[in-house]
Structure formats: C-alpha cells, structure tokens
Amino acid sequence: MSPTPDALAAAEAVAAASGRASHEVTLVLGSGWSEVVAGLADPGSEVTIPMAGLPGFTAPSAAGHRGTVTSCLVDGVALLAIAGRTHLYEGLGPEPVVHPAHVAAATGSRVLALTNAAGGLRNGMAVGDLVLLRDHLNLTGRSPLTGPLFVDLVDAYSPALRAAAADAIAGTTSARPAEGVYAQMPGPQYETPAEIHMLRTLGADLVGMSTVPETVAARGLGLNVVAMSLVTNLAAGVTGQPLDHTEVLAAGAAGAARLTTALRALVPAVARL
C-alpha cells in the first residue's frame, strides 16, 4: 500500500505549517485522551492545525475529540499528534477512519501510536488502568483493505515497541501497564451483558469502537504499531450499572496528568528503539 493522494497533500500542508519535513511518530488520541496533547510538547515546539484545514480529514462527531493536528517535539522527537478520530459508526466508510494511518506514512513516520478509551472485561481491571494491546478481535465485519492485499497481522502490535513502551512508562509512573486483547465492536450502541459474556469467552480483555481499522491499514502501509487503552468503565454486566459516554470523558479528564506522563515517556522510547 501507498499513502492516498489526500494523505500526501495533508503531509505537505503539515510540513509547510510546522517547518518539519517529517515526523518520526504519529499519535492518534482517542476519547478521553485529546486534552493530553496540550502537555506533550517540548516548550515552544507546538504548531496546531484544525483538521478542517487539512485534506482528507473529517471533523470528529463524537464528544471528547478535539479535531486538531499538532506538530511538536517530545523530548526532541518529532511527533504528529492527531487529537480525535472518525469512527466506523459515523457511516462515512473506512477511508476517513484510516486516513491518519495514511498521513503517518506520508509524513515519514515509522511508528503509529494509537490510544483509545475501552471497557474493561477482565477480572481485576479498574477504571484508570492503562493497558498495552498485544492483539485484537475485529468484530466489525469491515476491513480498510480492498482487493488481493494480504496483510500479515501475526505481530500487528509490535512486541518490541510494547516492551519499550512498558519499560518507559514504568520508569516514569512506577506502574508497569498490563497487556491485553482488544475487541472492536461496530457501535455506537454499548454492548449487552450477553455480548460481553461472549467477548470474555473469546478471550477479549477490553472492548471499544476504534483502533482496529487503523492498525490494519498501518500494517499494510509498513508502519509499526503500538496501542494503549485507558480503561474508562467496566463493561456491561460487570458491575450491573448503566453505561454513559460522560463517564468515559470523566475518566480521561481525571487521569490527564498521568496520561501525559505516560505518553511523554512512550513517544521517545518507541522512536529510538
């Protein structure tokens, strides 16, 4: 695969606005993570562009997604931070969903770092936990790939990047993130307790409505992927309580400082591996 023409045009626009011809890492910030971008950048290195001003981007419709693209340095590493994403449930097809992966490739990134808010399925998980993804279940019935493009997903989430990220985060937060399997459901409705029981039986530790298409596209583009979930709620049937998107955003806001610290450690660690 090669980056789309819109992705190449977006990369050129970012380079012109930021003065940086390339970015070593591209980071996508999901629900509850978007405000972290304000604390990531080295002082004086931040240039922010509205998504609406860049080719191929669609302004996110879900609450908690900023809709900005920021070029900055993180401990000297050139980072492109995309605050907000388009989801399959918005009905626009997979192309805008995976556009950030194409932009990452177009801007020269070797690494695509993905974040999301997720429901915790595994016993012992708590709201606020950070979990590095080691694999996924694609239960959307959709793929961003078309035609005879057979992408190997054995190590969709790079073991080397996971290890580097875990070591870096543990060194700054004193808590080593766990690893888990992420299941993507179509959304936008939350899962039923019976669906959560099914997912646990299938081996899922986390559930959400994003990340998988971007990962598949990124691997097709030759990028290495590292992904991390913030557990923002315990999934349907685990606590017996109803689910609400506001608790997802609240969990992100409550952990903003810790998320910023984790990502400031992760970005240079995966870039310099």
Please count the other Cβ atoms lying within 10 Å of the Cβ belonging to residue 263. 25
Say whether 233 is catalytic: yes
Choice among 83, 166, 209, 228 that is catalytic: 209
Reported for 162-170, long-range contacts at CB under 8 A and 24+ positions apart, including other chains, are 162/132, 162/134, 162/226, 164/269, 164/270, 164/273, 165/132, 165/226, 165/228, 165/265, 165/266, 165/269, 165/270, 166/132, 167/269, 168/265, 168/266, 168/268, 168/269, 169/130, 169/262, 169/265, 169/266
Residue 35 half-sphere exposure toward CB, CA atoms < 13 A: 13
Say whether 136 is catalytic: no
Q: What is the DSSP string of 48-66?
A: EEEGGGSTT-----STT--
Pairing of strands 47-50, 68-74: antiparallel
Choice among 89, 95, 138, 170 that is catalytic: 89
Choice among 158, 224, 229, 233 that is catalytic: 233
Say whether 245 is catalytic: yes
Q: Are 214 and 100 in contact (CB under 8 A)?
A: yes
Choice among 117, 218, 227, 265 that is catalytic: 117
Say whether 99 is catalytic: no
C-alpha–C-alpha distance, residues 30 and 80, integer Å: 14
Choice among 87, 99, 102, 136 that is catalytic: 87
Say whether 182 is catalytic: no
Say whether 31 is catalytic: yes
Choice among 90, 95, 179, 247 that is catalytic: 90
Choice among 51, 62, 65, 164 that is catalytic: 65
Choice among 31, 34, 71, 158 that is catalytic: 31
Q: Are 65 and 12 in contact (CB under 8 A)?
A: no
Choice among 178, 245, 254, 256 that is catalytic: 245
Say whether 89 is catalytic: yes
Say whether 228 is catalytic: no
Choice among 18, 158, 210, 229 that is catalytic: 210
Say whether 90 is catalytic: yes
Residues with catalytic annotation? 31, 65, 87, 89-90, 117, 209-210, 233, 245
